[in-house]
């Protein structure tokens, strides 16, 4: 895959998925604490989201950050717009804004990152097309 | 290896008048947390506020600075 193909794949993924999280690892096997917390917040709200692992090819992160202007991972997009990284997502989770944005019920239980509830993961399989 | 003080100075230089506090989360000089209070954030979305802080470091983010956790607020905002 060329860099342009990766970029347009990412653009389409953001367009086609109402909620998409670019992360290190996958929701039930996050490879970084920031990604784990962010996926955990989405899982706690029980919303359905697409997740894309940026680790299989360094160009995914380069193209994503080029598109979004955001330097770090994870990155959460809702309705095609960058919502933020883990700090912003966690602040919004704690304030209830994230539940509101996603049209979810705020969880009654206090947030516990571990163990995570059943992930609602929908892989989009970019990793299978790289290499 | 960047120090918390160096990061504080770089943010304070880029955002004059800001109250900046940076801590090294792991002691390893690569995972930091920055709390920044600045009136420059007035009227900006969280994304725009955090980008202002990230922009101070450019490509050092993900390079020398592996992770930078950010909390921004304005002087008048309740924490």
If contacts are CB pairs under 8 Å, which of residues 6-25 in chain B contact chain A?
Answer: none
Parallel, antiparallel, or unpaired: how do β-strands A19-23 and A49-53 relate? parallel
**ipTM for this prediction:** 0.82
Check if B44 contacts A (Cβ < 8 Å). Answer: no
Contact across the interface for A87 and B70, Cβ inside 8 Å: yes
Q: How far is B77 from chain A (nearest CA, A)?
A: 15
Contact across the interface for A84 and B46, Cβ inside 8 Å: yes
**A/B interface, count of CB pairs below 8 Å:** 33
Give chain A's end-to-end CA distance (angstroms, integer): 8
**The pair of three-digit structure tokens given for residue A47, joined into one six-digit string:** 């919303």
What are the phi and psi torsion angles at B75 (to 5°)?
Answer: -55, -35
Residues B7-49 have pLDDT tens digits of 999 999 999 999 999 999 988 888 899 999 999 999 999 999 9
Contact list, A83 vs chain B (CB under 8 Å): 47
pLDDT confidence of residue A131: 37
B54 to chain A: closest CA residue: A71
Contact across the interface for B51 and A70, Cβ inside 8 Å: yes
**Which DSSP string corresponds to A101-125?**
HHT-PPPSSPP--SSPPPP-EEE--
**The pair of three-digit structure tokens given for residue B28, joined into one six-digit string:** 């390893």
Residues A22-79 have pLDDT tens digits of 999 999 999 999 999 999 999 999 999 999 999 999 999 999 999 999 999 999 999 9
Say which of B50, B61, B62 has its CB closest to residue A87.
B50
pTM, two decimal places: 0.83
Q: How far is A71 from chain B (nearest CA, A)?
A: 7
Residues A110-129 have pLDDT tens digits of 565 555 545 555 555 555 44
Vertex A80 angle, CA A74 and A81, to 5°: 65
Residue of A36, A69, A77, A87 best to disrupt the B interface, most CBs of B under 10 A:
A87
Contact across the interface for A84 and B51, Cβ inside 8 Å: no
Contact list, A88 vs chain B (CB under 8 Å): 46-47, 50
């Amino acid at each position: 895959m060329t860099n342009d193909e990766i970029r347009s794949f990412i653009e389409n993924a953001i367009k086609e998925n109402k909620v998409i999280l670019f992360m290190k690892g996958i929701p039930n096997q996050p490879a970084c604490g920031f990604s784990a917390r962010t996926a955990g917040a989405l899982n706690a709200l029980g919303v359905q989201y697409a997740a894309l692992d940026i680790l299989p090819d360094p160009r995914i992160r380069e193209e994503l950050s080029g598109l979004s202007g955001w330097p770090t991972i994870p990155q959460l997009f809702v309705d095609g717009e960058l919502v933020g990284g883990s700090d912003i997502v966690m602040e919004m989770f704690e304030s209830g804004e994230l539940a509101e944005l996603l049209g979810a019920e705020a969880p009654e239980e206090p947030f516990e990152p571990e163990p995570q509830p059943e992930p609602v993961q929908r892989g989009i399989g970019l990793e299978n097309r790289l290499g | 290896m960047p120090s918390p003080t160096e990061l504080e100075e770089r943010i304070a230089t880029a955002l004059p008048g800001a109250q900046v506090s940076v801590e090294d989360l792991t002691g390893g000089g690569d995972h930091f947390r920055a709390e920044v209070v600045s009136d420059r954030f007035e009227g900006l979305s969280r994304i725009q506020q955090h980008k202002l802080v990230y922009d101070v470091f450019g490509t050092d983010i993900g390079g020398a600075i592996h992770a930078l956790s950010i909390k921004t607020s304005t002087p008048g905002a309740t924490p």
